[in-house]
Structure 1
Amino acid sequence: MVVVKDYSQVMPFRHEDGARLSEGVTYDIRNDRLLWVDIYNSEIHAIDNVSRDGREGRHMTIKIEGSQGRDSVGVVFLTDDPGIVLFGGKDGIGQWKVGSHEWEYVVKYSACSELAENPDRLQRLRPNDGNTTRDGKYILIGLMNDFNYDVKAIDGCILRISVSKGTVEMVWDGIAIANAVHWDHDEKYVFITDSLQHTIWRCPWDKQTNSLNRNGKEAWIDFKSHNKEFASPEPDGSDMDIANNLLYVTVWSTHRVQVYDITQRNKLVQEIILPVTTPRGSCCCLAGSDLYVTTANDEISDEPVQKGQGGSLFRLLCVADNKATSSKAYLNLH
């Protein structure tokens, strides 16, 4: 039986003027900080004391200005220093001192030999989503074609990056929109979101070597089978309740978040209904029992922003029965 929770009447928790593609929402329990990005506007946002002070908590933002004109920020990564976050930028992995205007690239994607050999392809790509391995040694990040290129082309890939060593390796080539990455409780499997295939793949994972076996991949969740009334239900950003092996997936174009028991193939256990005025849900994260959800604007371009709730951040109260925690590992900076 699928449990349905209706949040269709909830109002935005926060809405930034000019927001385009809010994404990558992440919770850091150490400082009660909520972070998210606007991919198209190339911004990182943070609110401190979000559980205590709500939307009135200290809000910080930084715009990442790139050397290539338009830049973009796809995802943030927590580190072992609560005052520093890493992010996936247009050129590579960047570092931001939270609350300041200081940032710099620490590893470039061009350190990947396959991408360095094809500079035209590298120019087309932008960061989308990713995660840090549980031991804090590596980042797995997906790249996809930028907004002014064909997003359906399979130029995309997944990279494994060591910030401390400065290494960048290709671990999955030929994927159109590589999205969220998560591990199960025991780290036996890694779950790779393949948005345009409407699929989450389960791949065997070797936690000793931090490597995935792509040849052993299985189509684990089929989103078309659970969203037949929608033309293209694409799994987007997600969060893992590690203790209970529950994966919370924001499904693009459906105004819903779906929760899957990843111990079983294609096992949908809960649906969370979002306002119909914001069908482009893009990412979610748990903060205790609450769920934060980012959304995209209907217009993702340089055209004037239409009025509405697109590009908003929503806070859904009492979604889960969880104690305050964070599903994200902290990357070791040294």
Structure 2
Amino acid sequence: MPPANYPLDNVLEARSRLGESTLWDAEQNLLYWVDIYNHRVHKFDPTSGQDQFFEVGDVVGPIALAGPSQLIIGQRDRIAFLNTQDGKLTPILTIEADKPDNRFNDGKCDPQGRFWFGSISQDPKQASLYRYDPDGSLQVMETGLTISNGLGWSPDETTFYLTDSAEQKIYAYRFDAAIGSIQDRRVLIDLSDEGAEPDGMAMDAEGCIWTAMWNGWCVIRFDPDGKEMMRVKMPVQCPTCCTFGGQDLTELYITTASVGLSQQEIEQGFYAGDLFRLQTDVVGMPSYHFGQSS
């Protein structure tokens, strides 16, 4: 279990199929997250414990804050705005329509307010990473991926991190914040000996990476050089994504999944699909808004 000073709580018995894309709204003190295969974007209030959701009509993956009562979201082959008061969807762009087996998976905004999101492919190396800018332009940032997953930026905004779950690797790139470019990819973390896959990630203010481990029963914290610092055991097999929240950004919210598990595996990890919160002693990086520089 977690260190004694890191209590882990099950804050919502969601029983989601594929919980993902945790996103903290510091202005409203709310947590957004998605259930990909149930086509829902959830809004969780930690103070009251109430959770509501919006049906979006298709798979939903990456989400980011995009102004008052609005998110930007990625679905199977498009991005759209979602009104978080009435659930209205406003389509923006259709992408990868020629790849019907692909879908968009994970993403977030960078500190300059640009939306980065990647796809997942059934065939190896057919997925990509994109950047959608507030001026309406779309850039292809990386190709040759299979499961584009957890991403983030170092606190000094000089390094960009990207996970390819199928490769069991987390890459680091040199990041130019002014123009939003990435270069000089290198393998920072190789988890090919784990028997589990790195999934969603969160960054803390010390420049460390927190990675949810699909099929790994844990979340791992790595230092900026890629060295494992701590492994937090989870009571479920498939942690999927994490983000820092709470008023001081010291609470790590973690989504999990139940999809694909056998009855025996569900019995072993009874709380599969639930939402968890880990109280840490480190401060996380905030969630950035589309169209707004930090």
What TM-score results when the alignment is normalised by the length of structure 2?
A: 0.89
Output the CA distance in 1 between the equivalents of 2:6 and 2:237. 11
Change (3 A) 1:297 1:244: same
Quote the offset at 1:159 in angstroms: 0.9
Contact 1:107 1:166 in 2 (8 A): no
Cα deviation 1:286-332 (Å, max 9, x = unaligned): 1122211111104379x9xx77322111122x22333xx65211111
Quote the offset at 1:272 in angstroms: 0.9
Structure of larger gyration radius: 1
1:192-203 mapped onto 2 (5 Å cutoff): 192-203=162-173
Does residue 157 in structure 1 map to residue 143 in structure 2? no
**Aligned twin of 1:12:** 10
Does residue 286 in structure 1 map to residue 244 in structure 2? yes
- Out of 234, 240, 258, the residue aligned to residue 197 of structure 2 is 234
- Out of 89, 92, 117, the residue aligned to residue 103 of structure 1 is 89
**Aligned twin of 1:166:** 136
Does residue 329 in structure 1 map to residue 277 in structure 2? no
- Out of 144, 156, 178, the residue aligned to residue 148 of structure 2 is 178
Contact 2:155 2:285 in 1 (8 A): no
Contact 1:254 1:279 in 2 (8 A): yes
Cα deviation 1:232-273 (Å, max 9, x = unaligned): x211001111x21011110111110001111x2x21111111
**Aligned twin of 2:80:** 94
Contact 2:6 2:280 in 1 (8 A): no
**Aligned twin of 1:139:** 115
Quote the offset at 1:31 in angstroms: 0.6
Query: What SS class does the counterpart of residue 140 from structure 1 fall into?
Result: strand
What is the percentage of aligned positions where both structures have the same residue?
A: 24
Query: What SS class does the counterpart of residue 38 from structure 2 fall into?
Result: coil
Quote the offset at 1:167 in angstroms: 2.0
Quote the offset at 1:189 in angstroms: 1.2
Quote the offset at 1:6 in angstroms: 6.8
Does residue 320 in structure 1 map to residue 290 in structure 2? no
Cα deviation 1:82-136 (Å, max 9, x = unaligned): 3111111123211111131311212222xxxxx4xxx532x22111001212111
- Out of 175, 183, 186, the residue aligned to residue 218 of structure 1 is 186
Does residue 130 in structure 1 map to residue 91 in structure 2? no
Q: Hey, which of these two has a bigger chunk of helix by percent? A: 1
**Aligned twin of 1:295:** 256
**Aligned twin of 1:38:** 35
Please list every run of 5 or more consecutive structure 2 residues that lacks an aligned counterpart in the other structure. none
Please list every run of 5 or more consecutive structure 1 residues that lacks an aligned counterpart in the other structure. 66-70, 110-114
Output the CA distance in 1 between the equivalents of 2:39 and 2:135. 26
RMSD: 2.6
Q: Hey, which of these two has a bigger chunk of strand by percent? A: 2
1:61-80 mapped onto 2 (5 Å cutoff): 61-65=53-57, 71-79=58-66
Change (3 A) 1:296 1:8: farther
Output the CA distance in 1 between the equivalents of 2:259 and 2:271. 9
Number of positions where the alignment pairs a residue of Structure 1 with one of Structure 2:
286
Quote the offset at 1:11 in angstroms: 5.7
